[in-house]
Amino acid sequence: MMFVGSLGTVLILWYGAGEVARGNLTIGELVMFLSYLALFYVPVNQIHSVNHMLQHALAGSERVFEILDATSDVQDRPGAAVPAGRLCGAVRFEEVSFGYRPDVPVLHGLTLDVKPGERIALVGPSGAGKSTMLKLLMRFYDVRGGAILLDGHDLRDMPLAFLRTQIGFVQQEPFLFNGTVRENIVYGDLGADQGGLEEAARAARAHEFIRELPDGYDTWIGERGVKLSVGQKQRVSIARVLLKNPPLVVFDEATSNIDTETEVKIREALDNLTRGRTTFIIAHRLSTLHNVDRIVVVDHGRIVEQGAHRELLIGGGLYAGLYEAQFQS
């Protein structure tokens, strides 16, 4: 469009200059025509810009609607009902078998009982099945064999939306929205007031650094929280779950290197988060597991060991080998 506009201006100047030289046109009239041309191109350029943006939006919307229209493989069973009363958080994996493909099993008849309020650390080599266990607990997938029970109720007999309200998930790389700190925390409870918000942030050891931000809780943190450090993002994510106050917590420990002071604050926040709640922790740093109630060691889709940290070290099994290898490295 810029080329067309420039070409039009050159043609009018070329033709108009000849007419002025022949006395058929005054210089003022030539300037007037050039002004009209400039005014004409303003809306034309705007229409072109809008059309350009519209074409981009249409191209992107096809992908967006493709995702929105996709149907999930996990659906509510007919007759799925919300259990009476608040859930306590007793979890049972009962002969659970699963594979992302029918011909490649990941879990093999796995059984695990977890008491309400118990803190469980899942440990094992990469690909052992730890993350798969928790994806099944949150019903990202349904088991292919056996069942997972929550307070004695099969997860598949509960509405999926209800189940998700009962679980707080702190991801390895916390997802934060392109908004303010306040908006990202209250996503855990949209009806929370300022007092509840700050209480959750204090328990997550986030209140101090939030107050030091340019606009405090109203500071814009960018897409995926790019303006915050890894440790700060994790504490905001913990505050969100604390505000939600679920009976179950799933915590995927970050693998990123963080300084000792930040690690201590995250550990304190995690202690506050897990107190009185059934907790599953996918542990990557075995040195942080002294405060859990039980360590469950998973290998090739099976539970091969479980017990306390010291007990497993003395046992000399897979956990002791992983612990020794991590400290040697």
Q: Could you state, in order of their start, the residue ranges of all structural domains in the chain?
A: 2-68, 91-328
> Consecutive sets of 10 residues in the chain, 329 residues long: mean pLDDT of each?
63 73 76 74 78 84 83 83 88 96 92 95 91 94 95 93 92 88 90 91 93 93 89 91 93 71 85 91 78 92 92 89 79
Fold (CATH) for 91-328: Rossmann fold (3.40.50)
How far apart, in whole angstroms, are the C-alpha atoms of residue 277 and residue 219?
A: 31
Question: In DSSP terms, which residues pair with 167 in a beta bridge?
Answer: 248
90-135 pLDDT, tens digit each = 999 999 999 999 889 999 999 999 999 999 999 999 889 999 999 9
How far apart, in whole angstroms, are the C-alpha atoms of residue 138 and residue 148?
A: 10
Report the candidate in 29, 150, 28 with the shortest Cα–Cα distance to residue 86. 150
The predicted model scores a pTM of: 0.76
How far apart, in whole angstroms, are the C-alpha atoms of residue 50 and residue 42?
A: 13
Tell me how many degrees the CA angle 252-256-257 measures, rounded to the nearest 5.
Answer: 130
